[in-house]
Amino acid sequence: MRRLQGKVALVSGGASGIGLASARRLADEGAEVVLADLNRDGAERAAAEIQGASAELLDVTSDADWQRVADAVAARHGRVDILVNSAGIVAFGSIEDVSLEDWRRTMAVNLDGTFLGCRHGVRVMKATGRGGAIVNLSSVSGIIGGHNIAAYNAAKGAVRLLTKSVALHCARKGYGIRCNSVHPGFVETPMLEAVVNQGRNPQDTRAKLQAGVPLGRNAHPEEVAAMIAYLASDEAAFVTGAEFVIDGGVTAM
């Protein structure tokens, strides 16, 4: 399928996991993709293997970085049609034991990063007058709570509602810019690997996670990328302010 032929896509967190799988999928469907990440080397290595892709250094918590990267992509490609806000981190801790530092860092990357991405995405998409599509990575943790992820819950819940606010603003203004959130369950990426490896017995931890999923397994990043590609495409022209769960049935219970 070449649903994204002629489109330009910017993917934050593009060096790894869901961001990387999305960048590959968007490129496979015809988009020119820019992978933006704090991990510049990783983004450059990944871009080198994707047809027509390039890399940018981006700290999503920095307004100045977003300004520079969004402007550079718009200048180089003449437009930005798709923004995927995938950069994210997870920190563990209940309301009693999460450190203020972890709370602030989790909020800064997951929430401020998405806020700034949406703001600069709207700015450059609006400038072309051709509309666009923004996809924000929330999580099932943006819908249901967990006892030991207070900061992550709060940030991802906020991303869910921020998405709706962005969508409604853009609709009201007639920009033709759609904004939707994606809510994965456990996805086999380096982030999940790090979570699993924190447990005393990683194999046991992984088995426990999978046992809690009605479909009995974790997602592959490519499965999330397929949903993102749909939301980025014109096939989703009437879809905005909506939340897309991809969790093997976890939130159905």
Contact 187, 210 (CB under 8 A): no
Residue in 66, 152, 186, 244 annotated catalytic = 152
Q: How far is the CB of 170 from ligand NAI (least distance, A)?
A: 21
110 CB contacts (<8 Å, ≥6 apart)?
A: 88, 89, 152, 155, 156, 159
Tell me whether residue 69 or residue 126 sits nearer to ligand NAI (CB atom). 69
Nearest Cα to Cα of residue 20 among 195, 191, 198:
191
Sole binder of ligand NAI in the list 4, 58, 170, 250 (CB under 6 A): 58
Sole binder of ligand NAI in the list 29, 32, 56, 59 (CB under 6 A): 59
47 scored as a contact of ligand NAI (CB under 6 A): no
Tell me whether residue 241 or residue 248 sits nearer to ligand NAI (CB atom). 248
Write out the binding residues for ligand NAI, residues 96-135 only, by CB under 6 A. 109, 113
233 scored as a contact of ligand NAI (CB under 6 A): no
152 is an active site residue: yes
Sheet with 32-37: strands ordered across: 54-57, 32-37, 8-12, 82-85, 132-137, 177-184, 243-246
Write out the binding residues for ligand NAI, residues 170-199 only, by CB under 6 A. 184, 186-187, 189-192
Sole binder of ligand NAI in the list 27, 53, 60, 135 (CB under 6 A): 60
**CA trace torsion 7, 16, 204, 107 (10° rounding):** -90
Q: How far is the CB of 5 from ligand NAI (least distance, A)?
A: 26
Q: Which stretch binds ligand NAI (CB under 6 A): 1-9, 33-41, 115-123, 163-171?
A: 33-41
- What the block records as the tokens of 156 is 């991802």
Q: Which stretch binds ligand NAI (CB under 6 A): 59-67, 69-77, 94-102, 160-168?
A: 59-67
Nearest Cα to Cα of residue 120 among 70, 85, 55:
70
Catalytic residues: 152
Interacting residues toward ligand NAI by CB under 6 A: 12-13, 15-19, 37-39, 42, 58-61, 86-89, 109, 113, 137, 139, 184, 186-187, 189-192
